[in-house]
Each structure stands twice: as C-alpha cells, then as structure tokens.
Amino acid sequence: MAGAKPTIYKWVLHPGGSGVLRSVGILPDGTLHNPNGYPEDLVRAAVEAANERRRKKRSEAAAKAAATRAARRERKVAEVVAKLKAGGHLSPGDYCEICKKHLDDPESVERGIGSDCWQHLLSLLAEAAGTLDPGPGA
C-alpha cells in the first residue's frame, strides 16, 4: 500500500437525512471528488460522516474479533491445562495447539505450543500448582 487512499464513495447518506449523494469523496490533497456538483460543504459533511461510520464499524469489528480470539484461546488453554493435569502429555507440532500460529523455534515445536501461549498456560498452571506431574524431560 502506497500513501493515503482517496476516499470516494459510490454514494453516501445526505447529512440532512434526505436521500443520498452519489459519487462523492475527499481526495488525499483535500480537494473534493464531486462530479455531480453538490454544494461543497454538503459533500464534506456527508463524506466525513461516512468516514466516521466506517471507522467506527471497523474498530467495532476489530474489537469483536479480538474478543472472540481471546475467548477461544482462553478455552484452548484451559483444555490443555486440564489435559496435562489429567496426566496427558504435550505433542510436538508445527502449529500452536492453542492459537494455531505457525511455530519456528525448536522449543515451541517440541511442545506444540508457541511461547506466548506457553507463558499464558504456565501462569494458569501456577494457579493449579502441585497437581501436575511434570512428565519426562522436565
């Protein structure tokens, strides 16, 4: 991606709430894309309102996605902790068992869990200290 993308909308809501403005936008240099010749301040207000709605929607979507990921990871960590506490063992793998991220370093591959998730898991295990058989190699 190179520089700011011009924000041109096929249509935006009329700021006064009556209908839409077609093919309007604000170019990176601040000038208007306004082939239909709407009043300039109307175009700016409408485009800025549309930009604002778009920003809000994006950040809400991002926050929701992050929360979903965190919840899923939390569940996976709890599963692995339960497995270890039940006497299960970690199995090596190229992808993190918890977040599915690709693993590169041998230590992570060996346990099948990335270092971030591992730290998280260890802190949960610490809360449950004393109930875990460390297993071979520990």
Residue ranges that bind Zn ion, judged by CB under 5 A? 96, 98-99, 101, 114, 117
Strand locations in 14-134, DSSP E?
20-26, 32-33
CB atoms inside a 10 Å sphere around CB 59 = 10
Q: Closer to Zn ion at the Cβ: 15 or 93? A: 93
Smallest gap from Cβ 67 to Zn ion, in A, equals 17
Q: Closer to Zn ion at the Cβ: 29 or 104? A: 104
Strands 7-13 and 32-33: unpaired
Smallest gap from Cβ 106 to Zn ion, in A, equals 16
Q: Closer to Zn ion at the Cβ: 42 or 99? A: 99
Smallest gap from Cβ 69 to Zn ion, in A, equals 11
Name every residue whose Cβ is closer than 8 Å to that of residue 93 and which is 6 or more positions away in sequence.
103, 109, 112
